[in-house]
Amino acid sequence: MKNRGQRPNVLVFFTDQQRWDTTGVHGNPLGLTPNFDRMALQGTHVYNAFTPQPVCAPARSCFQTGQYATTTGVWRNLLALKEDAVTLATCFGKAGYDTGYIGKWHLGGVEPGIFDWKEQQPVPKSRRGGYEYWLGADLPEFTSDEYHTMLFDNDNNPVRLHGYRVDAYTDAAIRFITKEGRNRPFFLFLSFLEPHHQNHRDAFAAPDGYADPYVGAWMPPDLQALGGTAAAHLPGYYGMVRKLDEAFGRILDVLKSMDVLDNTIVMFTSDHGNHFRTRNAEYKRSCHESSIRIPAAIQGPGFDGGGRVSALTSIIDFAPTLLDAAGLTVPSTMQGRSLMPIIRQQTNEWPKDVLIQISEDTVGRALRTRRWKYGVTATHLDGTKYSTSDRYEETFLYDLQSDPYELVNLINFSSHDAVRASLRKRLIKRIVESGENAPTISPAESSSEGIDQRLVFDNEILE
Residues 407 and 302 in one domain: no
User: Do 375 and 322 belong to one domain?
Assistant: no
Answer yes or no: pTM beyond 0.85: yes
**Would the pLDDT of 448 be above 80?**
no
In a domain, 3, yes or no: no
Of 343, 373, 390, which marks where a domain is finished? Answer: 343
Distance CA 209, CA 215 (A): 11
Tell me: do 375 and 339 sit in the same domain. Answer: no
Classify residue 227: in a domain, yes or no: yes
Residue 287's domain is classified under what CATH number? 3.40.720.10
Q: What residue ranges in 273-390 does DSSP mark as E strands?
A: 293-294, 296-299, 307-309, 313-314, 353-358, 364-369, 372-377
Residues with Cβ within 8 Å of residue 358, at least 6 apart in sequence: 53, 54, 285, 286, 287, 364, 365, 366, 375, 383
The answer to whether residues 52 and 114 belong to one domain is yes
Calpha distance 458→145 (Å, rounded): 53
Residues 409 and 287 in one domain: no
What pLDDT does 440 receive? 98
State the pLDDT confidence band at 447, using cuts at 50, 70 and 90.
Answer: confident
The answer to the question of residue 352 being in a domain is no
Instruction: Tell me: do 295 and 375 sit in the same domain.
Output: no
Closest listed residue to residue 424, CA positions, set 380, 391, 385, 388: 391
Percent helix, strand, coil in the chain, to 5, is: 30, 20, 50
Does residue 4 lie within any of the structural domains? Answer: no
Q: Are residues 121 and 268 in the same domain?
A: yes
- Answer yes or no: is 232 within a domain: yes
Instruction: Choose one of 316, 343, 370: the last residue of a domain.
Output: 343
C-alpha triplet 243, 249, 251: angle, nearest 5°: 110
Count of the separate structural domains present in the chain:
2
* Residue 257: Cβ within 10 Å count: 10
CA pair distance 369, 7, nearest whole angstrom: 36
The answer on 74 and 116 residing in a single domain is yes
pLDDT > 60? residue 311: yes
Residue 451's domain comprises 362-461
Task: Answer whether residue 412 shows pLDDT above 70.
Answer: yes
Do 222 and 86 share a structural domain?
A: yes
Confidence of residue 6 (pLDDT cuts 50, 70, 90): confident
Q: Residues 382-404: what's their mean pLDDT?
A: 96
What pLDDT was estimated at residue 454?
A: 63
Query: How many secondary structure helices (H) and strands (E) does the chain include?
Result: 13, 18
Task: Residue 375: give its domain's CATH number.
Answer: 3.30.1120.10
Q: Which of 4-8, 69-73, 324-328, 418-422 has the lowest mean pLDDT?
A: 4-8
3-state secondary structure of 61: helix
CA distance 95 to 329: 10
Task: Say if residue 133 is in the same domain as residue 219.
Answer: yes
3-state secondary structure of 45: strand
> Residue 118: what pLDDT?
65
Is the residue at 353 inside a domain? Answer: no
Q: How far apart are CA 447 and CA 403, in angstroms?
A: 20
Contact 173, 244 (CB under 8 A): no
Last residue of a domain, one of 294, 309, 343: 343
